[in-house]
Amino acid sequence: MDILITSITNSIELFIKYHRYYLRGTGITLLVSFFGVFLGVFFGLLLALMNLSKNKILKGISRSYINFIRGTPLLVQVFIVYLGLPLVGFGFMPDLWLVIIAVSFNSSAYVAEIVRGGIQSIEKGQTEAARSLGMTQRMAMRYIIIPQALKNILPALGNEFIILIKESAIISVVGIHDLMYQTDTIRGISYRPFSPLVFAAIIYFIITFSLSRLLNVFERRLRAGDQSI
Amino acid sequence: MIKVSNLNKSFDKLHVLKGIDEEISQGEVVVVIGPSGSGKSTFLRCLNLLEHPTGGEIVFEGISITDEKNDINNQRAKMGMVFQQFNLFPHMTVLGNITISPMKVKGLTKVEAEKIAFKLLKIVGLYDKADSYPSQLSGGQKQRIAIARALAMEPEVMLFDEPTSSLDPEMVGEVLDVMKKLASEGMTMVVVTHEMGFAKEVGDRVLFMDDGVIVEQGTPKELFENPKHPRTQDFLSKIL
């Protein structure tokens, strides 16, 4: 019993001593996740629209891209982007940008599939009504289909955000100073291999759990708008 | 106003419309009746190209809308359509439903579009529902809003695709009343329906379709009281 109490006190002391590392790491993790999600949704929407278009070439590009991303590990993708982009003239980019690009490329493929499902779940009659009123296909998408689809896919999208925050730990392998990287640093300099990891896990959990709560509230507010069924 | 010649439509191997010739004049109320699967809805949906004909030509106000170079959106803005399933936009209020197209397609301001919308809401008797969402309305109310939404584009012709078929019986009357009012004001209308009472009372001309062709047509009096074709006689004897 005494051993347990001592080890907990020691751990807390360790956390207090190195809390700046955790703070900085958490900042980078949040930054990468935020931009990863933001760009991921943007590209994902684009990919989904390409995928649903009648143009066979656009459709083909989008399908192959989605299949490639979903069929290869994020770890490999991060290395390919991180080491590959500088080879083709993007050497000027800071490391942080490179990993944000890698993460958002990955996320966009999953978001694209979610969005495609959302768009296809809207009844055909909605498009027909919009088109019968003289709207172009683009207007029908923008004002009628996508707003309804986004509302339907919000839970799935939220889930994707949460996955992305956790998966972003992989960027530590290319030396980005995110939460996981900082945790490893603390383990090294403190000669304590275990307890820093526990704090990292707690921080990841707090982020993802609060995000999922936040999304719940947001979702409920959206539903209140239409008071349906 | 609308001239249809040798209209054909196939879905894969299924030949739904087998050469339809028809002319609809300004101010006319044309009612299309016939057994289900006879192609009457497909015929109506071809008129604003929601279905693309596989053969033949449709001319609207002198412009061939089946011509590949034609931008159908210009004509659709002048052709209102009312659907069996209403197809209101559930994420918008009633007012939003009615004003979105005049604003986005015709470029009206919000104030202009809402002025039209409130005038129409008065006509369909739902002035107080402007801020409701479609999910808060009954079937009959939804359909009346759908009619108002189509009218907000100030169309030259209104197409009705079985507008009362998915309504509870007690709500059919309120929708038909709005349609009668429209007809009496001289709106050109093409109505696919099973409401024979409406056809008799309001129709200038009734078309009987069966198996992808117009089998017989005439004034309601001619067609209902003295059908000439055996298939028309057979159909009418089953439903009247």
Query: What are the DSSP calls for A109-135, one per residue?
Result: HHHHHHHHHHHHTS-HHHHHHHHHTT-
Task: Please answer yes or no on whether B133 and A228 come within 8 Å at the CB atom.
Answer: yes
Is B11 in a helix, a strand, or coil? strand
Q: State pLDDT tens for residues A102-157.
A: 999 999 999 999 999 999 999 999 999 999 999 999 999 999 999 999 888 988 98
Task: Identify whether the C-beta of residue B195 lies closer than 8 Å to the C-beta of residue B172.
Answer: yes
pLDDT bracket for residue B51 (50, 70, 90): very high
Nearest CB to A144 within list B74, B89, B106: B89
What pLDDT shows up at residue A150?
87
Name the DSSP class of A175.
Answer: T
Contacts of B153 in chain A (CB under 8 A): 133-134
Question: Looking at residues B25-31, what average pLDDT do you find?
Answer: 95
Mean pLDDT for the stretch of residues B1-17: 94
In degrees and rounded to multiples of 5, residue B217 shows phi and psi of -150, 160
pLDDT digits (tens, 9 = 90+) for A7-63: 889 889 999 999 999 999 999 999 999 999 999 999 999 999 999 988 999 999 999
Of A123, A127, A133, A146, which to mutate for an interface test with B (greatest number of B Cβ within 10 Å)? A133
DSSP string, B67-116: STTS-HHHHHTTEEEE-TT----TTS-HHHHHHHHHHHTT---HHHHHHH
> Running DSSP on this structure, what letter comes out for residue A203?
H
Q: What is the mean pLDDT of residues B192-221?
A: 94
Contact between B101 and A134 using a beta-carbon 8 Å cutoff: yes
Q: What is the mean pLDDT of residues A171-188?
A: 94
A35 vs A30, A105, A161, CA distance in Å? 9, 11, 11
HSE value, Cβ hemisphere, 13 Å, CA-based, for B144: 25
The residue with greater pLDDT, A67 or A216, is A67
- pLDDT confidence tier of residue A227, bands split at 50, 70 and 90: low
Contacts of A227 in chain B (CB under 8 A): 133, 135-136
Residue among A225, A99, A59 at smallest CA distance from A151: A225
Check B73 against A125: CB less than 8 A apart.
no
Mutation to test the A interface, candidates B76, B94, B158, B165, most A Cβ within 10 Å? B76
C-beta pairs of B218-224 under 8 Å, 24+ apart in sequence? B220/B31, B224/B196, B224/B199, B224/B200
With a cut of 50, say whether residue A229 has pLDDT above it.
no
